[in-house]
Structure 1
Amino acid sequence: MDKKSVLLQQLTMLHNRDGWFVSFDHAVKGLTSEQASWKTGESTNSIWEIVNHLRFWNQRYLNSFKGIVTGKMEGDNDSTFINLDHLNWAETIASVVEIFREWHNAVKECEQEKLDSPVPHDSGTTWGQALSNLTIHTAYHIGQIVHIRKTQGSWGPELGVD
């Protein structure tokens, strides 16, 4: 299996096909905005904040991959958890789902050489490496979402990964 096929499979698994871990769609399915906003404490992130973070980084790298100038990042990584666009919960989820679709299409349509080329703002990393890191990063946060749901009681064994 070539690099492009592996990345496409990873993107699909993250978005909507359960495998060794649940997909994003499965992890957030049926969540209300109240459940998504729930936190165990002030120093922890809510599911909604985690989804904002995923939205920020996936969109930023997607824009760069497509050649859209992203500009210098305002703030630090902590600011990526904030809902800066003031989207409601349904809009936030729809936005992330659309970003995943766009990522899949962009990788599907790109030439292999693109995946071997350097990321403009990270000269030591190729696009293939960056996408691999981005998928691992997203999978990590999907795991956090499931853990938070288990802690709050909104994840039952019927949903899997018990």
Structure 2
Amino acid sequence: MSDHSRSLVNEIIKLMNGGTAHASLEDALKDLPAEQRGERPHGLPYSIWQLVEHIRIAQWDMLEFSKDALHKSPKWPEEYWPKETAPASEEAWNNSLAQIKKDLQEMTELVQTEDLHKPIPHGTGQTLLREALQIADHTGYHIAEIIVIRRLLGSWKS
């Protein structure tokens, strides 16, 4: 891999993981009181739990699309958003976070080993570069929403 390509890969990985100009999901959720996971302040249409689950589902979908021609995406929008405002249990919360981390690591490995510019054979012109950037952009957007909710709930320490 050329130095130019390695530099691009490194920047994509940083972007997907948060940092530099963006907060990471871990940072956005640090010290979040469990009772705030399901709150929807000031008439907002979603809770932190719903945002976390949405991140998990969307990231999983983009990862699976990137590697599996037989993957079937969830139905938009209803299957990308949980109906429950709060996790059913601590285990559900932890499992969601673990899956996000696992899938992000798998996408990182794809970015490090595959051709970023080659069209995905079963796609309509998408590339791994596009999918990786979409994961970074989508997750960053929703992390910002988590931080706003925490500010509204008074639990964000900046």
Q: Under a length normalisation based on structure 1, what TM-score does the superposition of the two structures give?
A: 0.78
Q: Tell me which residue corresponds to 1:103.
A: 107
- What's 1:91 paired with? 95
Bigger strand fraction: 1
Match of 2:8 in 1: 6
Q: Secondary structure at the match of 1:123?
A: coil
1:84-107 superposed Cα distances (whole Å, 9 cap, x missing partner): 996611221111111111111121
What is the CA RMSD across the aligned residues, in angstroms? Answer: 2.7
**1:26 corresponding residue in structure 2:** 27
Quick check: 2:15–2:136 contact (8 Å CA) kept in 1? Answer: no
Aligned residues: 152
In the TM superposition, residue 122 of structure 1 has moved relative to its aligned partner by 4.0
Note the C-alpha offset of 1:68. Answer: 5.9
* Corresponding residue of 2:66: 65
SS of residue in 2 equivalent to 1:117 = coil
Check if 1:76 corresponds to 2:79.
no
Percent sequence identity over aligned pairs: 24
Deviation at 1:55, TM superposition (A): 0.7
C-alpha change, 1:141 and 1:104, in structure 2 (3 Å) is same
Structure 1: which 4+ aligned runs deviate by more than 6 Å? Answer: 83-86
Match for residue 137 of structure 1? 138
Cα distance, 1:21 vs structure 2: 1.8
TM-score norm. by structure 2 comes to 0.79
Give the secondary structure class of the aligned counterpart of 1:124: coil
Residue type matched to 1:19 in 2? T
1:26-45 alignment runs, 5 A limit:
26-40=27-41, 44-45=45-46
Offset, 1:7 = 4.5
